[in-house]
Structure 1
C-alpha cells in the first residue's frame, strides 16, 4: 500500500467495545456526542521511520497469529479506500472511492497504552478483500443496501461470528462520518488510548489516499468468546442485501458458492 495510510475508527457500533472489553479504555475521554465514535487510530503508516506501524499488515488471503499466549479476535468491518486532499497542510476533503470487506484483527492485550499496539504485529495481521465495491455516493447511495456478515470456519463447521448488520446501522455513516473523520485527521491529539493523527499524517508524507476501517459490528455469543487458532478460516462478507440471501452468504463464506459475482466483497483468510 505505498502512499496509503491505514486508519481505523474505534467505537462506531453500539455495544462492540463493551463486548471486546475495551469500553473502560475510553472512560476518561470527553466526547460531546454520546453516539459518536471514540476516535481514530493508525494501523499502517507508510514511509521511513523507527516505528512498528511502517510494516504493511494487510493481506487478502492469510492471517498470521502473534504470540501463542495472546488472544486474537476477528473484527468484522467495512474498509473505505479514500482520496485525501490537503489545503495549507490540513485535510480539506476525504472522498470514499471503494468499499471492501475488512478484518481489523485485534489482540486482546492487557495493559496496551494505545489502540495501535493491538492492531499491527507484523505482515499479514489485517485483512482486506481484493473485491472492491465502487462507491457512487456515500450518503444515499448503493451502499445503503449493503450488509456485513462474518463467520469462522473451524473443523469443517461454519459459525456466525458477528451479527449480520446493515451498513446504515453504524453510529456514524455517510457524510456525517466523513465530516467527523476530517475533523479527527486535523485535530485529534495524543490522549488516553488515542494518538496524534495529524503527526502520523505528517510522518507518512501527507499521503494522497487512506484505507479506513469504519468500525466493527457486534459479536454473536460465539464470536465474543471464541479466539483464533491455527487452521481456522475467517470470512467477512460485505454484500448487497437486495441481491444475496442468507444461504448465498453462507455459501460465499464456506467456499461452496462462486464468489465472482456482483454486489459482493468477500474476504476469506486462512489463519497461519
Structure 2
C-alpha cells in the first residue's frame, strides 16, 4: 500500500481504480481468542482498491488485487470517527474519483454518499465481524480469521468498504502507465454540489487540500 504511486501490474489487463472509503478499526477478540468479538471504528481515509479485471489462471479475488507492494493506495490524512452508526459523521461523507490522462481530467466515478451503500452503519459492522469469523476458503474467497491468528492477533486493521459506480468514461477506459488517479472523500455540507473543477485540478497538483476533503493522489508507473 502506498500513497503516491501504483506499480502497474506486469501480468493481466483491464486495470481499474476502485475508489473506496477505508475504515480503520480496533479489533476486540473474545477472551478465548477464537473469534473477533467486535470492531471499533477509529478513522476514515480515501482508499484505492486497484484491481486487475482480466487475469488468466487466477482463482482467488486476492490475486487480482494484491500483485505487489504498490498495488493499493491510502491517503495520508483521514477523518477521526468513533462510530459509523446512522446519524454520525459518515452520513455526511461522499466519495468521488477522477483520472488525469495527459492534460485532461475525467470524472471516473459518480459522487457516492456513504449512506447510500447497500449495507452500511452498524449492520455493515456486524456483517464484517461475521465474515471475519466464518468465511471459508472456497471459490474466490479465503479464510480471514486464520490469517489474523497467523499474524499474532493484530489489534487494528484497515477495511475497504466497497466501490461506487463508474461514470460512462470510467467504465469504458482502463488505466495506463502515466495515468494519475485522485480518490477523494469530502463533507457534503461543505461541498453540496461536490468539489469544483478548479479544486480538483489543484489536488492533482498536490496543493494543500481543505480540511473538509481527504484526497489520495497517485500516479501509475
Same fold by TM-score greater than 0.5: yes
Matched, 1:202 2:145: no
Structure 1 gaps of 5+ residues are 1-57
TM-score w.r.t. the length of structure 2 is 0.91
For residues 205 and 253 of structure 1, the distance between their equivalents in structure 2, rounded to whole angstroms, comes to 41
Aligned residues: 215
Q: How does 1:1-272 map to 2 (within 5 A)?
A: 58-67=1-10, 70-87=13-30, 88-89=32-33, 90-108=35-53, 109-139=55-85, 140-246=87-193, 248-255=195-202, 258-272=207-221
For residues 221-249 of structure 1, the C-alpha deviation after alignment (integer angstroms, 9 at most, x for no partner) is: 11112111121110001000110254635
Whole-Å separation in 2 of the counterparts to 1:107 and 1:147: 25
Give, in whole Å, the separation in 2 of the partners of 1:259 and 1:165: 23
Q: Which runs of 4+ in 1 moved over 4 A?
A: none
CA distance in 2: counterparts of 1:123 and 1:269, whole angstroms? 14
8 A contact 1:252–1:259 mirrored in 2:
no
CA distance in 2, matches of 1:82, 1:136: 9
Q: Indicate the RMSD between aligned Cα atoms, in angstroms.
A: 1.7
**1:128–1:271 distance in 2 versus 1, CA, 3 Å:** same
What TM-score does the superposition give when structure 1 sets the normalisation length? Answer: 0.75
**CA spacing shift, 1:92–1:249, aligned 2, 3 Å:** farther
CA distance in 2, matches of 1:220, 1:59: 25
